[in-house]
Structure formats: C-alpha cells, structure tokens
Chains A and B, each alone.
Chain A
Amino acid sequence: MIKRLFTRLLWSVTTLMGTAVLTFLLINVAPGDVARVIAGPKASPDVIKAIRARYHLDEPLWKRLGFHLGQLARGDLGHSFVTDQPVSEAILSRLPTTASLASLAVCLWMFLAVPLGVYTARHQGTWLDRSVLVAATLTLSLPAFWLARMLQYWMSYKLGWFPVAGFRGFWHLVLPALTIAILAVGYYARLIHTNMVQVLDSAFIRAARARGASESAVLFRHALPNALIPVVTILGMDIAFLLGGVMFTENVFALPGIGTLAVQSVFNLDVPVIMGTVMFSALAIVIVNLIVDMLYSWIDPRVRAV
C-alpha cells in the first residue's frame, strides 16, 4: 500500500513536471510579444526594454525555463501581468465558484444517471430504454456553448425562472450546472446501463435470486455496487476536468470561476495566469486520480489484496 502510494506520487510529480515544461514551451513558441502587450501599443522602446529586463524576457529560453521550474517548485506561480495579483491568489479566490458549480453538476447528473441506468438495464428494449439511448447520443453531441445560450435565453430571459448571469448565490449556479449535467447525464446513464447489464448476467446475481433476494436487493445491493466500480474512474476524470475550469459554460453565464480566468488570461496574453491555470488543471487531475486510486482499494476488495 505504502509502496503503491509512493510510486503513484512519483508519477504525479513527473506528470506535473512534464506539463510545466510543455506549457512553457508552447507559450513561448506562440506568436505575440509579451512585453509589447504589457506595455501597450504606444510604449517607447526603452519601456519595452525595461519590461523585458524585469520579467527576464531577454534571457535565453533554457535559462528562463529553469527559472520558471524553480519558481514552481517553491509553489510560486508568479504575478499577473495585468493586475499584478499573485496568480495562486487569483486561482484560489475563484476555486470556490468552480468547485460549487462542479459539485452541483456532478450531483445533478449522477442523481439522474443512476436510476436511468439501472432502470434501462432491468427493462431492456422498452421505450424508455430506447429514448435514453437516443437522448444520450443527442446530448453527447451538443455543443456546450449552444446549450448554455439556449438555456439562458429560454429559462432565464424568456421564462425568468433563473438569474441570467453573474454569481450572487445558489440560484446563479443552477443553469450552468444544468448545462453541464445535461451534457453528461446521457453518457453516464448509458455507462451505468452497460455495466449493469453485464453484472446482472453474472452467476452471483443468479445465486442471489436463488436465495430469494428481492428484486430491489438484487439490483441495488448486489448489482449496482459492482456496476459502479468502473464508473468511479471516469467520474474522477470528469470531476478533475470540471475543477480545471468549465470554459464555455462559465463564460456564457459570467461566473467568476477558473474557466473565465483562463479565457481572460488568454485574451490578455497574461502568461503567468495562463500557465497558472494550466498547472492548476494538471494538479487537479493528478490529485483526483490519486484519490480515485485510493478509493478503489476501498470499494473493490479485490484491488486491496494486490
């Protein structure tokens, strides 16, 4: 157990290092003069030169990479070019918004997907089973920005049920969370459906029925926990992605989350913030993966023994 945790940690650090190097290189090969962006279009060459010197932009690439990595190792993400706010502070101040949006979305879609998946697995070939399949395919291919705009137009602007945009409380989160949930629920319902169908076919389910277990005990006590084991991995990945910021949805609803921060920073060519948000996404994925890994040995006793 300790050994596995250690190797996993080593892998996590390697992943983060790789991400740091890659984002650094990508931003540096991308077109656009950072110093000119910071100084503004009318700045004199002297000012630009001074800025270059201040942010070490005149140093060779490998030296700056080393400097960047050293900074990261100390947990320092630098300061925003635009606001001069420490990047870590900017991210952390927006984390609660993104985290609440992500949790609400996950709760919404799992709350719908589990019963749908179980029911359609139990009643294969019924109209509901087929409708869920069609709906899943449909929602899976919907573009997020379109769905977000549609919901916003109809449910907020036309019907007035929800606030249109901004973030001043729970109700502001409902529509954005609904957007994300609608995009995910079909996929998860089908995923649970497939796993349930497979598990319901196994010998231990027949054995449970042969003992006289009720249908609900068979479904929810014997089958569902087994069917959810593979779902945990994928759910973990999705939660990590959500924590990294939901770019389109947050932007459409003007939620001050990590997604909007990331998009803004790209428009502003605010390099430290861009790199900071990317690093934060990577960190979220690494941490959630670690948690999922540990969780696995808790929910699946067969993993514990290995």
Chain B
Amino acid sequence: MSTDTTPLLAIRDLRLDFVNGDRPLRALDGVSLTVHAGETVCLVGESGSGKSVTALSITRLLPSPPARVVGGSILLQGRDVLQMAPRELRSVRGGIVSYVFQDPSASLNPVIRIGKQILETLELHRPDAANDAEVVQLLKLVGIPAPESRARDYAHQLSGGMQQRVMIAMALASRPKLLVADEPTTALDVTIQAQILDLLRDLKQRTGMAILLITHNLGLVSEIADRVAVMYAGQIVEEAPARELLARPLHPYTRALMDSVPELGRDVTRLKAIAGNVPQLGAWPTGCRFHPRCPKAIAACAQHNPELSLVEPAGSSRLVRCPYWNS
C-alpha cells in the first residue's frame, strides 16, 4: 500500500461528545483511522463501541446537538471536513463519500419510487447523467433483474436483499471514492448476506473505490478486508493488515472476539462469549478500558490507558493498544 500520496480519508485523534443535558458523554476518544484510495478497511467492534459514530462522523451526519466534535480532524482528500461550509459538505456527502446503511427497508423513502430516488442522487452529483437510462444501468450494475420495471417500484415491493441492492446502486450513482457500508448485511438473511458481500467485492474491483466496512462480524473480515481496525469503548485497540490480524490477533480483546466466533466442523457444546458487558457511554473504566473483562489483566492495567503503538519486532504496520501483547 503506497503511503506517500495523500490518503483518501485520514481521521486524526477524533474526539466526539454526546451532550446530554450539561453532562457531555465521550463517544469517540482519540480515534485515528486512515483509508487509502481503493483500499478495503474493516472497522470491527461490539455494539456501542463507536464504530457507527465514527462512520457517520466522516461527513458530519450526526445531528448536532447532541453530537459535538471536541477535537481532532477529518481530512478527506486533504480537506478538513470539520471546517467545511454546508454547501461544500453536501457536495462531499454522496459525492466523494457514499453510505449504505444497516436497514435497507427503512433507508428508502416509502412514498418515492426507487428510480426517482436514484435519479435524485444523479441530479445532485452527476447532473449530466441524470436520466432514466443511467438509472436502469445502475440497477443492472447491482444485479437487479428487469431494471426498467423495477425502477417504477416502491421500496415495499422489493425484498430486503433487493432493497439493499437499490441502496448500493444509489450509493454508486455518484461514482464515490469511498463507500461507507455500515453493517450492510446485518438485517438480511444469511444467503442474501453472502450475495451482497460478493456484490460489494465485485463492484470494488470494477470501480476502484475504497470501502470502509463497519461490522461486528469478524467473519466478514476474511472475506473482504485489506486492513482491519478493532474498536472498543470509543478507541481503536488494534489495527493490522487483515491476514496478519486473523492469523495472529495481538490485543486480548481481538483474541476474545475471535474466540467467540464458532467454527464450522468443530464440536462446540457451548458458545464462548466475552465475560462481562460492553461498558456504557460515560461509564468507561479507568486505565485500559478492557481490563475488567481481560483475562490477562494485571494491577497496572487499571492505572493508565496504554497508547496505540507500533508493534516493534515485526517492523510491520501493526498497531496495538496493549503493552503486554507479547506476554
């Protein structure tokens, strides 16, 4: 991966609060994440770890209030999203960064024909291509049969898998540089999940766009990711090339996550789960945030929160937020 050019997306030390009354709750605490052009990055973590908040922050989609960025920067092709005026921000949304969300049935407007909704994106970002032929072309691209007649359908007339394909078609309409897919397969049947994943991989190859895939499912990582970042309690705890991370997870949390994935063919009597619960927003433990659930925790872990630092001996690009990863 070449790093000498400006990265497509560079989130630096992002800190974000949710203001609830006069008590701000920290949701992101120093998140740094880089996505290069054409790269597929997976952001993995349990619910409430801050991965969706990170994804929405990229184009400031979180309503403010209650969300408030208190520090850091988000550079998109070198431009700081946090400094953008509304008009510029709108051209970025759907233009450079497109989104596919978790629940496709709720993400499509129920009273507007899907073709019209795709056309809207085209009008906003590629006005010269805003015509029915291009809409049909996009529907065909995402594998929707009989696209001419489907374009006149409403969302409720399509199955969940088809709805997600429409969402993807809409996201691709502007030919974005980065597709942020926030749990795109969670609301779908398992067989459909595989189809959607195949589609994303195929489209990535064809368009050369980068993908930031948000998921709690480590199984997806091996399928699609170049690089993985693991989030826990508003921080990234490990970041590594996908193959290396899957072969040898370093952070105790990543290991626990991988242990909790049931393996096919192995005789499993009881699913392994990580003891304890994800800490609530605003109730993060002092020291290392994972230490109350960590099987290897020692007294020092409760004292101070370790930095996310490069793993020395490997000399690679692996980052881990645990000084004892080697023990």
Contact = CB atoms under 8 A, between A and B. Distances in A.
A210 B93 contact: yes
B292 to A, nearest CB: 34
B296 interface: no
Contacts of B107: 203-204, 206-207
Given A203-B101, A213-B124, 14 more contacts: A202-B106, A203-B106, A204-B107, A204-B109, A208-B109, A211-B94, A212-B91, A212-B93, A213-B94, A229-B111, A300-B110, A300-B111, A301-B111, A302-B154
Nearest to B182: A210
B220 to A, nearest CB: 21
Given A209-B93, A213-B120, A204 B106 contact: yes
A301 B111 CA distance: 6
Nearest to B102: A203
A226 B110 contact: yes
Interface in B34-62: 59, 61
A209 B61 contact: yes
Interface string B276-293: 000000000000000000
A214 interface: yes
Contacts of A213: 90, 94, 120, 124
Contacts of A204: 106-110
A225 B109 CA distance: 10
A212 B110 contact: no
B18 interface: no
A284 to B, nearest CB: 28
B272 interface: no
Contacts of A203: 101, 103, 106-107
Contacts of A229: 111
Contacts of B98: 210-211
B99 interface: yes
Contacts of B108: 204, 207
A299 interface: yes
A214 B90 contact: yes
A212 B96 CA distance: 10
Contact of B156 (A206, A210, A302): A302
Nearest to A214: B90
B320 to A, nearest CB: 32
Residue with the greatest number of chain B CB neighbours at <10 A, chosen from A206, A211, A222, A225: A211
Contact of A301 (B110, B125, B170): B110
A145 to B, nearest CB: 41
B5 interface: no
Interface string A224-236: 0110010000000
A215 B89 CA distance: 12
B131 to A, nearest CB: 18
Contact of A210 (B94, B103, B106): B94
B110 A207 contact: no
- Interface size band for B: 20 to 34
B59 A210 contact: yes
A207 B156 contact: no
Contacts of B184: none
B168 interface: no
B3 interface: no
Interface string A181-214: 0000000000000000000001110111111111
Nearest to B156: A302
Contacts of A206: 61, 101, 107
Interface string B148-190: 0000001011000000000100100010000000000000000
Contacts of A221: 112, 120
B95 interface: yes
A301 B94 CA distance: 27
B94 A212 contact: yes
B92 interface: yes
B120 to A, nearest CB: 7
B32 interface: no
Nearest to A222: B109
Contacts of A299: 111
Interface in B106-134: 106-112, 120-121, 124-125
Interface string A288-306: 0000000000011110010
The residue in B91, B106, B111, B167 that gathers the most chain A C-beta atoms within 10 A of its C-beta is B111
Contacts of A212: 90-95, 121, 124-125, 174
Contacts of B86: 215
A210 B154 contact: no
A211 B154 contact: no
B219 to A, nearest CB: 25
Interface in A239-280: none
B120 A211 contact: yes
Contacts of A208: 109, 120
Contacts of B120: 208, 211, 213, 217, 221
A210 to B, nearest CB: 4
Nearest to B167: A207
B95 A301 contact: no
A305 B111 CA distance: 12
10 contacts: A204-B106, A206-B61, A210-B59, A210-B94, A210-B101, A211-B121, A213-B90, A213-B124, A215-B86, A226-B110
A212 B91 CA distance: 6
A301 B156 contact: yes
Given A206-B101, A212-B91, A226-B111, A305 B156 contact: yes
A54 to B, nearest CB: 59
